[in-house]
Chain A
Amino acid sequence: MEQNTQRITLKIKNTITRFLKNLVYFIIFLFLLVASLYGATTPQNKPIKAIGTMQIAPFKDGISIYQGHTGEYYVFSPFNDYAINEDQTRSSYISTQELTDNKFKSTFKEFHLIEIKKTIEGYLGTINPSINFRTQKNIKYSTNINKNRLTINTDISFPDNNSVPRILGSTISYQGTDFIFDTKGNLYNYLSDNDISSFKNIYKIHLASSLDELRIHIPDGKIIIVNPHMTGVIVIRSQKGQNLWVNRNFRLIEVEKMITPKDDRYTTTLHVEVYKNLEEAQKTL
């Protein structure tokens, strides 16, 4: 009886020892596999998603809409987005000083295995572009995309109650050569008469320059952007409770929202649509 017990105990011990030995080799194997994967090169911008005829992806300064290899970008960035305090001072989410001193962190570059995971998810289309920035504030940009409609959600928390803003401004940058106009045909960017005339010839839309002010409020909340080097039309529409501005000084479209001070995070949204052409865009305006 005792011998039997001893035999059984020995057998169990041997089985456990063998399994542990196998497990150690298995873990070594897993480690080698992970190390193999670690060497894989990931693309710089991930994920890239389509929005109409254009693409959207995270870049080191935020999230950008672009098209192929034109080298021109429509940027949603904490270096442009801003808050206006009670005393009417305007400050961007990440200041020039913080930018110069590199006093911020972002999720543009993360631990390599996470980058690999994002690359795979991006390839399969299971995630949308997003990026987080951290200074004293926590700023998170996330996107929802439905065919040609994009919603950029900006989630921000402020470090202390003293700096709680009254207005938050979400922005999108534009190019110096863009046609920026409203539904009445007022053109808010300086372009040559030749270009305005060609625009009329090609698209049958008459634009009239409206350049008296540097910052213009758009009452009906709709702005149309046509980039002469890209295909497609960008339409920005403000929602209820938002005000739309064209800021010619900074080349920004600004969508402002008044906020009620509270301790939590604040969220603003910006709605962008990308159409194949002006004809398609005009049907919705």
Chain B
Amino acid sequence: MINITTLIPAIFLYVLPTLVGRAIIKDLYKRSLSYPFISYFATGISTLYIFTLLLNFILRFIFPDVSFSTFLPAIILSFTVVGIILNLIQNVNDIHLRNYILPFIFSIVLAFLIYNLWQFNSPYPFNWDIYEHQTLVNTILNDRFSFIASNVTDTFGFNGYPTILHTLIASSQIFFNTPIFDYWNSISYIHFTFIVLASYLFAKEITGNRTISIISGLLSALIFDSNNSFTTLFFIPQTFTAMIFMFLFIQLISEIKKNRLPSLNIIAIGTFSLLLNHYIIGTLASIFYIGTYLYYRYNALIISYININKRLALEIGLFVGLLTVIFSPSISLGFLNNGEAQTFTASLSDKAEAMKQIYGFLLVLFVPIGVSAVLRRKNEIEIFILILMSGFLTIILLQLPYMAKFYVLARIFVHFFAAIGIYTIFKFFKNSKLLYINSYIFLVLTLIGIFVTNASNWKGFLHYHDILTQVSPLEIEAADFLKEKYGNGNTLLVSDPATAHILEPFSSINTQGGAYMNTNTRGILDEISKTTNTKEVAQKLYSINDAVNPTNGKRLLALSGRYFVWQNSSKKNKYALSYDVWYPKDLTFEDEKIIQQFKEDETHFKLIYQNPAIAIFEVSK
């Protein structure tokens, strides 16, 4: 549930770094900077994280007995107090809230309405990744901290980013006892608001046209990229990085329009924060960000060169783009991330189908109109934006793993051109107020129709009783029981990957890898399904361990409805990182028969909890 108390920790995640960053860099510059808040935020998150890393490193040598979980609250509290005091004593000539109020209210209201439409009949967030991120946050809060995520918890086998976002989340959760789902719903809503605001401001800075900006904001709110990128509704490192990129880019464009550029320091801190938040998305974002800066810094030289060879440059660009798209399938990278990458390698027709599900025919109808309007207008910045969008789309069309994830960066550009396309038609009848108002109404209704059909498809397999969900209330109840009895103790929970993934962050009990359990554990679970010898099963369970946080304590075996579905799946699926039982499942008669076998061996299996979804045993060797 989102309410003011659950929003406070979510807002704190953004406010604290902004205060810290502002205290550091505000008075370093003689002149004002457009959208200074993004620079403050970038500075603040980088400073907080680096400081925490350094202090952790130093204290481990000087005070090895002092736990990280003790001094983390002290760091956060110190930064908060110092940040507030320093900001209070600085003058406020950089705060021009009046310019932002209406767009902010527009974004807050729109995001609130659409977020609730998305969560309609669904009590829990749909972001499957929150479980692993919360597990990492819990581990940080429980005294295990490192730059490298896989050194903190074995839930992270692939290090696509360091632990900066998790440190921020830990900072915002540490003083507030917000229920986990409420926190994630609130932070997702705040993130959504910022994405909508960014889309509005992006269009406003480039065109100065309020109608195009509003349409861009509407598109951002009502189009959910439900395949790979998840820009608006999922708060995860890639979307957080994209949000930072959007505001950095808006700042850059705003400065360019004022015939000036941000200083190199501002560019550097922005780039650093992008790379620090996501290696892959951050790298591409940085390339486009720095590329834009360099283009405008050396604009005269570049323009003079392209003016001479404009046609050749365009032909070379198109030719290279086409070749890379055509020949990319021959580059085999499916082995990445233990083979998970293969699942994220989509063909051109897959990508087209995904876009159709997300947009209907909206893109194919309105983006060309927008592009053609921009080419006719010959506005230099708009044409540059078009070149950037083409660059993004070429990369996305490559048939290599994870390329579709880059849409998280391209989206704002694509929506910009769609908004111009829509506005181009609007213009023809804007003299008639009646038709103009009706056109907005019909546009919103169409976008709602596209959004709801997309959401229906995406959530179609998640019907559970009378709600739509990835987890059941019964599983959460089981996790609450486990937390009370075994939480943060020396215990290892064993179950199928999905059940482990869900129970770990809520119960604070360690599992081997959560949804990303290793092949050894998968093999043992597969063997367990083939034997009725419960003594043998008990011994096998004690051979499973977490390599990052080993435990020699008790083993708990969770037999959930999901567990039995997973056990009945093919061997190929059991060993696949990309296969999980993503939907909740209660226990059936067939499942109960197997549970009965474990109940009959009281020597090795003591039933400690059962509800209609899950039976949990404490295992003795």
Which residue of chain A has the shortest Cβ distance to B357 in the bound complex?
A41
- The answer to the question of A48 belonging to the interface, with a C-beta cut-off of 8 Å to chain B, is yes
Pairwise interchain contact B455-A37, C-beta atoms closer than 8 A:
no
Known: A40-B360, A226-B589. A25 touches B429 (CB 8 A): yes
Which residue of chain A has the shortest Cβ distance to B589 in the bound complex?
A228
Q: In angstroms, how far is the closest chain B Cβ from the Cβ of A29?
A: 5
Contact of A230 among B432, B453, B588 (CB under 8 A): B588
Q: In angstroms, how far is the closest chain A Cβ from the Cβ of B561?
A: 7
Pairwise interchain contact B456-A37, C-beta atoms closer than 8 A:
no
Pairwise interchain contact A277-B120, C-beta atoms closer than 8 A:
no
Which residue of chain B has the shortest Cβ distance to A177 in the bound complex?
B590
Q: Mark A18-49, 1 if CB is under 8 A from B, else 0.
A: 11011101101110111111111111001010
Known: A52-B465, A119-B452, A231-B586. A39 touches B428 (CB 8 A): no
- The answer to the question of B141 belonging to the interface, with a C-beta cut-off of 8 Å to chain A, is no
Pairwise interchain contact A53-B426, C-beta atoms closer than 8 A:
no
Pairwise interchain contact B463-A36, C-beta atoms closer than 8 A:
no
- The answer to the question of B449 belonging to the interface, with a C-beta cut-off of 8 Å to chain A, is yes
- The answer to the question of B121 belonging to the interface, with a C-beta cut-off of 8 Å to chain A, is yes
Complex CA gap A179/B446 in Å reads: 48
- The answer to the question of B438 belonging to the interface, with a C-beta cut-off of 8 Å to chain A, is yes
Q: Pick from A85-93, A120-128, A166-174 the stretch touching chain B.
A: A120-128
- The answer to the question of B553 belonging to the interface, with a C-beta cut-off of 8 Å to chain A, is no
Known: A42-B453, A52-B465, A119-B452. A28 touches B425 (CB 8 A): yes
Known: A26-B438, A36-B362. A231 touches B432 (CB 8 A): no
- The answer to the question of B443 belonging to the interface, with a C-beta cut-off of 8 Å to chain A, is yes
Pairwise interchain contact A26-B439, C-beta atoms closer than 8 A:
yes
Complex CA gap A231/B438 in Å reads: 49
Residues facing B in A99-137 (CB within 8 A) are 116, 119-120, 122-125
Contact of B455 among A19, A46, A123, A201 (CB under 8 A): A123
Complex CA gap A32/B454 in Å reads: 19
Q: Mark A227-248, 1 if CB is under 8 A from B, else 0.
A: 1111100000000000000000
Pairwise interchain contact B457-A41, C-beta atoms closer than 8 A:
yes
Contact of A202 among B356, B455, B467, B592 (CB under 8 A): B592
Known: A32-B365, A53-B465. A116 touches B449 (CB 8 A): yes
Contact of A22 among B429, B466, B590, B592 (CB under 8 A): B429
Pairwise interchain contact B360-A38, C-beta atoms closer than 8 A:
yes
Contacts of A122 in B (CB 8 A): 456
Pairwise interchain contact A119-B456, C-beta atoms closer than 8 A:
yes
Q: Mark B349-374, 1 if CB is under 8 A from A, else 0.
A: 00000001101111011100000000
Pairwise interchain contact A36-B450, C-beta atoms closer than 8 A:
yes
Pairwise interchain contact A50-B465, C-beta atoms closer than 8 A:
yes
Q: In angstroms, how far is the closest chain A Cβ from the Cβ of B600?
A: 10
Known: A36-B359, A37-B450. A53 touches B432 (CB 8 A): no
Pairwise interchain contact A36-B365, C-beta atoms closer than 8 A:
yes
- The answer to the question of B464 belonging to the interface, with a C-beta cut-off of 8 Å to chain A, is yes
Complex CA gap A40/B456 in Å reads: 11
Pairwise interchain contact A68-B356, C-beta atoms closer than 8 A:
no
Contacts of B596 in A (CB 8 A): 198, 201-202
Contact of B456 among A46, A50, A53 (CB under 8 A): A46
Pairwise interchain contact A32-B366, C-beta atoms closer than 8 A:
yes
Pairwise interchain contact B456-A39, C-beta atoms closer than 8 A:
no
Pairwise interchain contact A198-B593, C-beta atoms closer than 8 A:
yes
Pairwise interchain contact A40-B450, C-beta atoms closer than 8 A:
yes
- The answer to the question of A276 belonging to the interface, with a C-beta cut-off of 8 Å to chain B, is yes
Complex CA gap A32/B424 in Å reads: 12
Contact of B588 among A26, A43, A125, A227 (CB under 8 A): A227
Contacts of B366 in A (CB 8 A): 32, 36
Tell me how many residue pairs across A and B have CB atoms closer than 8 Å.
141
Known: A39-B356, A230-B588. A29 touches B362 (CB 8 A): no
Q: Mark B579-591, 1 if CB is under 8 A from A, else 0.
A: 0000101111110
Q: In angstroms, how far is the closest chain B Cβ from the Cβ of A121?
A: 9
Which residue of chain B has the shortest Cβ distance to A179 in the bound complex?
B589
Pairwise interchain contact B449-A40, C-beta atoms closer than 8 A:
yes
- The answer to the question of A283 belonging to the interface, with a C-beta cut-off of 8 Å to chain B, is no
Contacts of A55 in B (CB 8 A): 463
Q: In angstroms, how far is the closest chain B Cβ from the Cβ of A275?
A: 12
Q: Mark A193-236, 1 if CB is under 8 A from B, else 0.
A: 00000110110000000000000000000000011111100000
Q: In angstroms, how far is the closest chain B Cβ from the Cβ of A15?
A: 10
Pairwise interchain contact A202-B593, C-beta atoms closer than 8 A:
yes
Pairwise interchain contact B457-A43, C-beta atoms closer than 8 A:
yes
Pairwise interchain contact A68-B428, C-beta atoms closer than 8 A:
no
Complex CA gap A123/B460 in Å reads: 10
Q: In angstroms, how far is the closest chain B Cβ from the Cβ of A218?
A: 22
Which residue of chain B has the shortest Cβ distance to A46 in the bound complex?
B456
Pairwise interchain contact A68-B590, C-beta atoms closer than 8 A:
no
Interface hub of B364, B432, B587 (most chain A Cβ within 10 A): B432
Residues facing A in B544-585 (CB within 8 A) are 561, 565, 583, 585
Complex CA gap A38/B450 in Å reads: 9
Pairwise interchain contact A199-B589, C-beta atoms closer than 8 A:
yes
Which residue of chain A has the shortest Cβ distance to B565 in the bound complex?
A69
- The answer to the question of B91 belonging to the interface, with a C-beta cut-off of 8 Å to chain A, is no
Complex CA gap A33/B215 in Å reads: 14
Interface hub of B431, B446, B454, B455 (most chain A Cβ within 10 A): B446
Complex CA gap A43/B461 in Å reads: 10
Interface hub of B361, B426, B454, B583 (most chain A Cβ within 10 A): B361
Q: In angstroms, how far is the closest chain B Cβ from the Cβ of A145?
A: 10
Known: A36-B450, A43-B457, A69-B583. A22 touches B428 (CB 8 A): yes
Q: Mark B457-489, 1 if CB is under 8 A from A, else 0.
A: 100110111110000000000000000000000
Contacts of B449 in A (CB 8 A): 37, 40, 116, 120
Known: A29-B439, A119-B452, A277-B612. A229 touches B362 (CB 8 A): no
Which residue of chain A has the shortest Cβ distance to B446 in the bound complex?
A33
Contacts of A35 in B (CB 8 A): 361, 365
Which residue of chain B has the shortest Cβ distance to A232 in the bound complex?
B586
Pairwise interchain contact A41-B465, C-beta atoms closer than 8 A:
no
Pairwise interchain contact B435-A26, C-beta atoms closer than 8 A:
yes
Contacts of B429 in A (CB 8 A): 21-23, 25-26, 29
Complex CA gap A248/B425 in Å reads: 64
Contacts of A22 in B (CB 8 A): 428-429, 431-432, 435
Residues facing A in B371-428 (CB within 8 A) are 425-426, 428
- The answer to the question of B335 belonging to the interface, with a C-beta cut-off of 8 Å to chain A, is no
Pairwise interchain contact A276-B612, C-beta atoms closer than 8 A:
yes
Pairwise interchain contact A41-B425, C-beta atoms closer than 8 A:
no
Complex CA gap A120/B452 in Å reads: 6
- The answer to the question of B319 belonging to the interface, with a C-beta cut-off of 8 Å to chain A, is no
Complex CA gap A35/B364 in Å reads: 10
Complex CA gap A218/B435 in Å reads: 65
Complex CA gap A122/B432 in Å reads: 36
Q: In angstroms, how far is the closest chain A Cβ from the Cβ of B428?
A: 4
Pairwise interchain contact A123-B356, C-beta atoms closer than 8 A:
no
- The answer to the question of B442 belonging to the interface, with a C-beta cut-off of 8 Å to chain A, is yes
Q: In angstroms, how far is the closest chain A Cβ from the Cβ of B596?
A: 6
Complex CA gap A32/B308 in Å reads: 40
Known: A22-B432, A43-B457, A122-B456. A33 touches B443 (CB 8 A): yes
Complex CA gap A227/B587 in Å reads: 12
Closest 3 pairs (CB-CB, A-B): A39-B361, A39-B360, A50-B466
List 16 interface pairs A-B (beta carbons < 8 Å), by A numbering.
A23-B435, A26-B435, A26-B438, A33-B442, A39-B356, A40-B450, A41-B357, A41-B453, A42-B456, A68-B461, A68-B585, A198-B592, A198-B593, A202-B589, A228-B590, A231-B586
Besides the known contacts A21-B428, A23-B435, A227-B588, 4 further A-B residue pairs in the complex with CB atoms under 8 A apart = A41-B454, A42-B456, A48-B463, A50-B467
Instruction: Point out residues on A near B: beta carbons under 8 Å.
Output: 18-19, 21-23, 25-26, 28-30, 32-43, 46, 48, 50, 52-53, 55, 68-69, 116, 119-120, 122-125, 179, 198-199, 201-202, 226-231, 276-277
Instruction: Point out residues on B near A: beta carbons under 8 Å.
Output: 120-121, 356-357, 359-362, 364-366, 425-426, 428-429, 431-432, 435, 438-439, 442-443, 446, 448-450, 452-457, 460-461, 463-467, 561, 565, 583, 585-590, 592-593, 596, 612
